[in-house]
Amino acid sequence: MMNSLDCCILCPRNCKVNRNNGETGFCKATNKIKIAKYCLHFWEEPCISGDCGSGTIFFSNCNLKCIYCQNFEISTKNCGKEISIEDFANICISLQQNGALNINLVTPTHFIPLIRDGLLLAKKKGLHIPIVYNTSSYETVDSLKMLDGLIDIYLADLKYYDNKLGEIFSGAKNYFLVAKKAIGEMYRQIGVPKFNGSIMKKGVIVRHLLLPTHSEDSKKILAYLHDTYKDNIYISIMNQYTPIRKIEKYKELNSKVDDYEYDLLINYACDIGITNAFIQEGDTCSESFIPDFGTFSDK
């Protein structure tokens, strides 16, 4: 699997850098896994976190550059700690021993071959809880196929329907075209959801974060997902957009989502027949919900 880092085309950017020879591409990742934090996380969808928490591993770096990113410290500032594949396997085991319901891999795309090797090693060491792949969906189908049989739950964003929004807000060309193919591969691998009580064991959850004043784009995303997958996936409709820093060029991103705008989107989801959905209530738009990434900082 290391050979895939000799000419890195793990994500749609196709940087073709030799990460094994010290080169880095758009995401700035090297040939070592780098993580910013691992912990029991209680703020995912209820079927993921439950009462015991999701064993979450936050990876450093990212193949997107969202101008409103809440995890800016790790996605762009590159804070974190490099670890070996064996270290990664041991972290998975320790999270399982601490009662985690699953292993939740957050922003893992640029480390896929290393994660694959780490998961295989962890399973040899006794890892048996479900694996959650938590992604922006800016993925290639070929890279996702490397994980076929290892992932139990895909927790995937579908950020934009309008490709222009993907380009200006996340620096990603053809975001929707890429993401819909990626989600199609995720569904091919996993199929319909399976639960043990209220806890998901297999399935695809597609998240969509409503951005201020962009509800029309959000409606197109919900319609696409429902038309394509019906009740065979879950849709998480999120209102937790949190402005972290001032964005001069796109001033609409400097405020939280209006409650009325979110309610209208939920009503729209109901009107078109969406039933398998998660919605957010209360004050989820808070910096207190953003993890502290100071623990593993190299600084």
Tell me whether residue 2 is in a domain.
no
Query: How much is the pTM?
Result: 0.93
Q: Which of 65, 59, 93 is nearest to 79 (CA)?
A: 59
Give the model's pLDDT for residue 276.
97
Tell me whether residue 18 is in a domain.
no
287 pLDDT exceeds 90? no
Domain span at residue 214 reads 27-289
> How many domains are there within the chain?
1
180 pLDDT exceeds 70? yes
Least confidently predicted of 67-76, 137-146, 158-167, 244-253: 67-76
Q: What is the CATH number of the domain that holds 120?
A: 3.20.20.70
The rounded percent of the chain whose pLDDT value lies above 70 is 93
CA 201, CA 193: separation in Å to the nearest integer? 8
- For residues 118 and 33, the answer to whether their CB atoms sit within 8 Å is yes
153 alpha-carbon distance from chain centroid = 11
Greatest alpha-carbon pair distance for the chain in Å reads: 54
Residue 257 CB neighbour total at 10 angstroms:
23
Tell me whether residue 176 is in a domain.
yes
